[in-house]
Amino acid sequence: MRYSHSDDELWDEYQWDAHISEVEKKSDQLRKFITADPRGGSTPRWITLLEESVSEDDAFEAYVEEELLLDEAYFPDDEDWEDEDEFDEDEFPFNALEEYDEEAEMDFDEGEEWKALSEDFAYSNYGSLNNLRIYSRSKNLAIDVLRWALSIGEKHQSPEIDDFIEETLKIGAKLAGGYSFGFDHEYMGANIAYTKRSLLYANNGLNRLVQIKGKGLFKKSEYLGLHECFHELRNDIGVYVQELRDRFHRG
């Protein structure tokens, strides 16, 4: 996901916050249209995703992909990037094409691929989202919550439970949204703004967990395990936000 604003001003996290809020309003409207229950009822989205997926893992991935696509629909393409991709014979004459070493490029690509597999590059444009530990933990937490929701049975499901699950799923989705902007200084504000939303949903999820506790839907060990995961993930996302801010201010 890329976006280029019209002037040369470098947006900070607060300017991106305002812009992303507008994007989310539009994507929420689009979501209601696209994810409407075809049966005419009000089946929660998480149940539909589970029905359409092989596993809870696949349901989570489908949710994140859907969230990214819905937001991306309202981020215009960067025309400057498209211009850079145009072929210019003056800068790249025909005889240079004849000397092009395809084998050398393949060696370069293979040399870059290992970075995506290494946690050392998770905080860079060469890294992979799957190597961002807080994202992997948000995914595991969402899977655990989905399995718990299935285990309590349909008779115990309620709007409160649906909100709890939705907010848990959004923790990872917003981390993915931020990560998609990368770590270049120009887009760091967007990364921070999305990651702050992830922190908000982690806080909301923890609060809802505490509220649901009294309904007798958790085994003691189950509740304590989820509470610990929410609490630690919330704290670590907060640390990650500060690390991103430090990188932004260092330029």
DSSP secondary structure, 93-121, as one string: -HHHHHT--HHHHHHHHHHHHHHHH-GGG
Tokens read off for 127? 């890294």
Distance from C-alpha of 138 to C-alpha of 202, rounded to nearest angstrom: 9
User: Each residue of 169-190: pLDDT tens digit?
Assistant: 999 999 999 999 999 999 999 9
CA atoms within 13 A on the CB side of 109: 6
Residue of 107 and 240 predicted with greater confidence: 240
Q: Which residues contact 74 (CB under 8 A, 6 or more apart)?
A: 22, 23, 26, 27
User: Each residue of 37-76: pLDDT tens digit?
Assistant: 555 557 888 999 999 999 999 999 999 999 998 888 777 5
Residue 86 has a pLDDT of 45
Distance from C-alpha of 189 to C-alpha of 187, rounded to nearest angstrom: 5
Residue 23 has a pLDDT of 87
Indicate the range of 17-31, 55-69, 90-104, 107-121 predicted with least confidence.
Answer: 90-104
Residue 103 has a pLDDT of 54
Contact 198, 167 (CB under 8 A): no
Residue 111 has a pLDDT of 55
Residue 12 has a pLDDT of 93
Tokens read off for 142? 């969402």
In the predicted structure, residue 31 carries a pLDDT above the cut 90: no
Residue 224 has a pLDDT of 97
Residue 19 has a pLDDT of 92
**Domain 13-78+132-250 coded CATH 1.20.120.420:** no
Structure-token match 């958790």, residue found: 218
User: Each residue of 115-170: pLDDT tens digit?
Assistant: 555 565 688 888 889 999 999 999 999 999 999 999 998 889 899 999 999 999 99
Q: Read off the amino acid at residue 74.
A: Y
| Short-list 245, 235, 250, 172, CA closest to 17 | 245
Residue 200 has a pLDDT of 98
Contact 73, 30 (CB under 8 A): yes
Contact 24, 193 (CB under 8 A): no
Q: Which residues contact 26 (CB under 8 A, 6 or more apart)?
A: 73, 74
Output the average pLDDT for the chain.
Answer: 82
In the predicted structure, residue 212 carries a pLDDT above the cut 90: yes
pTM, to two decimals: 0.80
Q: Which residues contact 247 (CB under 8 A, 6 or more apart)?
A: 183, 188
Residue 119 has a pLDDT of 60
Residue 29 has a pLDDT of 78
**Coil, strand, or helix at residue 169?**
helix
Residue 125 has a pLDDT of 83
Residue 186 has a pLDDT of 93
Q: Which residues contact 62 (CB under 8 A, 6 or more apart)?
A: 49, 52, 53
Distance from C-alpha of 161 to C-alpha of 44, rounded to nearest angstrom: 10
Percent pLDDT > 90 in the chain is 60
In the predicted structure, residue 221 carries a pLDDT above the cut 80: yes
Domain coordinates in residue numbering, the chain: 13-78+132-250
